Structure 1
Amino acid sequence: MAVSQGHTMIILPRPRDPGSAESPELAQGLLPGRITMRWIFASVIALHGLLHLLGFLKAFGWYEPTQLTVAIPKAWGFAWLAAAVAVVVTAGMIGTDSRGWWALGLGALVLSQAAILSAWPDAKFGSVVNALLLLGCLYGMFAVGPYGLAAEYQRAVSQRLPDTLAPEKVTEADLTDLPAPVQRFLRHSGVVGRPRVHNVRAVWRGRIRGTATDPWMEFTAEQHNFVREPTRLFFMNASRSGLPVDVYHVFSKRAATMQVRLLSVLPLVDAQGPELTRAETVTLFNDLCLLAPSELVDPSIRWEAIDEGQARGRYTVGANTISAVLSVDEEGNLLDFVSDDRLALSSNGKGFVQQRWSTPIREHQVIGSIRAMHHGEGWWHPSEGAYAYLEIELVDLKVNLTSSPGH
């Protein structure tokens, strides 16, 4: 798996933990920084909502708050109560990350501001919190509403999942013409006698950086790959300096795009073109090796033996043929994937340069009946010295789905 942008078995230290594998926060793609910010925001909004009760109590003469000196008619008292309830419920939905909180928040905002206007001289400073709530609702529209990259990703997945094939099984005959290291890898992975993979859903967590000196960004991610018409849909939630960053990679119809947005709204990257498509073709091949090894028997891949531990695969999608060298140990574990056909972002950020890229696997695991990677890294190999830009853990893996879990 990758993000666009003597081999003994070594266990890589676990990346900084953004939540346990069982945590619903992880399933929702949330990081510690985002969770903390969410609860702080929810607490501020909840307090703002509770303060509206003062207007309700004053209107009925049950309490005389010193903060409110203007008279509030009983009819407006009910407006203050409605605003209090709507704002507090909105805060609760924010705290629990409920879908649609931003829509209720906009309604609560209208009620709150109307109540504030009824006692403007004393309550006008509540408009500051309402301005904060408005910004939060606008962010929510793009982060979890129908207008953001996350929603675009989910729609794309939903459109493709019904298009599945009845999977045929991998047989020993399928392995006959493959180099010995690839045969060993496939047998050890347990694909022989099992159905071929036609789609994959993977959930990841880890950390990533742009250069060897950049700070690390923690992330969680989900991706779906489809084999019939090579497609890769990858959505990442990252956090840098406490601010959320959304990343959405698409490889579909033999073309690739990449979008990056700060706060789910502000565009940072909007890339496409033949260079990105070629780079993402390498990523597709890497995904097959790490997530769907049964597909390495496909005719779109031509194999060449190098030695007892290495083999070169040439993978073709459309006009692009790329190659990579797979390293496999005696037991059959995939140790590394190295390609010279990957393209890295140039130093000025305005183009791409061809650069060696590798994804060493540090630990393997069995998820259900599937043997797959567990921890791994992504490395760039520039002339000034190789460095790891990615540390990653595979949290969950499912194959041949007909619907997307949780969507």
Structure 2
Amino acid sequence: MRSMNIKWTITILVVLVILLCFYYSQHLYRQFKSEALEGLERTRILENEILKETDIAHLPEPVQKYLRYVGVVGKEKVKSFKVIIDGSMKTDGKRDWAKVDVRQYSFIDKITRLFFIKMNMSGIPVIGLHSYTDAKATMLIKLAGLIPVVDGKGEEMNQGETVTVFNDMCLLAPATLIDERIEWKPIDSLTAKAVFNNEGIKVSATLYFNEEGQLISFVSDDRFYSPTGKTYEKVRWSTPVSNYKNINGYNLPTYGEGVWNFPEEDFTYAKFNIKEIQYNPTTFQ
């Protein structure tokens, strides 16, 4: 009888440990959902306004042409957006590609970017949350959602993620390019430069367009390469995009790459397929 009781006790303890591990493995997702719900609640009550030709009149000509091509004029201004992405990533050129699934919520009024990622590396599930709010960024990645392998934060991360926020605005939510925090500098009929200022953090980027009006690449010298979140190296960063398709009435790129342009060679670390973009969502899904 005593032996039976011990076995039952051990079994119960094992089950409890498994349940606790599962609960804690979902911590990053719970944080992502909580912050997304907060943003949705905040932006849900904001007035819906229509974007007009007069809103884009001050922009450089290639940017105006891009916005007309995308089809933002006559539609609601973007207060927030949700993106679903799949694709593959790797941390350095020697590693194999790992499949990834990404869900992202971004909010424009109080700039917020919540980038939740799931991947599988060598058979081990990896969970990550890249969060940016109040001009501060964190990047936390955990094996099985439990063991931290990347924990990045600090001034370099804040600046680099400000670049990423602006990149998202350009590629994923072009209607936001009328934002007063952007200072535009015309270059020529296919190129424009911009300085984005969010709460005192200024970053710049050059945007390249084709004759059709499509944005084909975004290039910035203001990001930092940081594979572990412990060291930072300032490296040119570019995001070439292609395969424009109609998504919910907008002409948007559905394929993009993340590239570190090292002096010795380019390193492509991300290949993303954009599966869904929803503007001004009101519920968490």
The size of the alignment, in residue pairs, is 283
User: Does the 8 A contact of 1:260 with 1:270 survive in 2?
Assistant: yes
Question: For 1:117 and 1:266, how far apart are their aligned partners in 2?
Answer: 34
Higher helix share: 1
Unpaired segments ≥5 residues, structure 1: 1-69, 71-113
Structure 2 counterpart of 1:159 = 38
1:318 is matched by which residue type in structure 2?
E
Determine the C-alpha separation between the residues in 1 that align with 2:115 and 2:86: 13
Shift of 1:127: 8.9
TM-score between both structures, scaled by the size of structure 2: 0.93
- Structure 2 unaligned runs (5+)? none
Letter in 2 for 1:185: Y
The 1:255/1:291 distance shift into structure 2, 3 A limit, reads same
Matches within 5 A, 1:135-154: 136-144=18-26, 148-154=27-33
TM-superposition CA deviations, 1:73-123 (whole Å, max 9, x none): xxxxxxxxxxxxxxxxxxxxxxxxxxxxxxxxxxxxxxxxx9x825x7xxx
> Which AA in structure 1 matches 2:223?
R
Q: CA deviation at 1:163?
A: 1.1
Deviations 1:181-215, CA, capped at 9 Å, x for gaps = 10111000000111110000101111111112222
Contact 1:139 1:263 in 2 (8 A): no
Correspondences of 1:7-406 after superposition (within 5 Å): 117=4, 133=15, 136-144=18-26, 148-164=27-43, 165-345=46-226, 350-405=230-285
Structure 1 CA distance for aligned equivalents of residues 76 and 91 of structure 2 = 38
Q: Which moved more, 1:235-244 or 1:164-173?
A: 164-173
Amino acid at match of 1:154: K
More strand per residue: 1 or 2?
2
Specify the SS of the correspondent of 1:289: helix
Match of 2:141, SS?
Answer: strand
Tell me which amino acid in the other structure corresponds to 1:117: M
SS at match of 1:163: helix
Shift of 1:170: 1.4
Q: Deviations over 1:228-282 (max 9, x none)?
A: 0111011101110111111101111121111111111111122211110000000
Residues 349 and 269 of structure 1, relative CA distance in 2, 3 Å threshold: closer
Q: Is the Cα–Cα contact under 8 Å of residues 359 and 376 in structure 1 kept in the other structure?
A: yes
Shift of 1:362: 2.3
- CA distances 1:166-192 after superposition (whole Å, capped 9, x unpaired): 122211112222111101110000001
| Identity across the alignment (%) | 33
In the TM superposition, what is the alpha-carbon distance from 1:365 to its structure 2 partner?
A: 1.6
| Partner Cα separation in structure 2 for residue 133 and residue 373 of structure 1 | 46
Instruction: State the 1:370 CA deviation.
Output: 2.5
Is the 1:243–1:263 Cα contact (8 Å) retained in structure 2? yes
SS in 1 for 2:42: coil
> How far apart are 1:143 and its partner, in Å?
3.2
Give the Cα–Cα distance (whole angstroms) in 1 for the partners of residues 251 and 145 of structure 2.
35
Aligned CA distance change for structure 1 residues 307 and 245 (closer, same or farther; 3 Å):
same
RMSD of equivalent CA atoms? 2.1
Q: CA deviation at 1:128?
A: 8.8
Q: TM-score, normalised by structure 1?
A: 0.66
Shift in Å at residue 320 of structure 1? 1.0
Counterpart contact for 2:29–2:116, Cα < 8 Å: yes
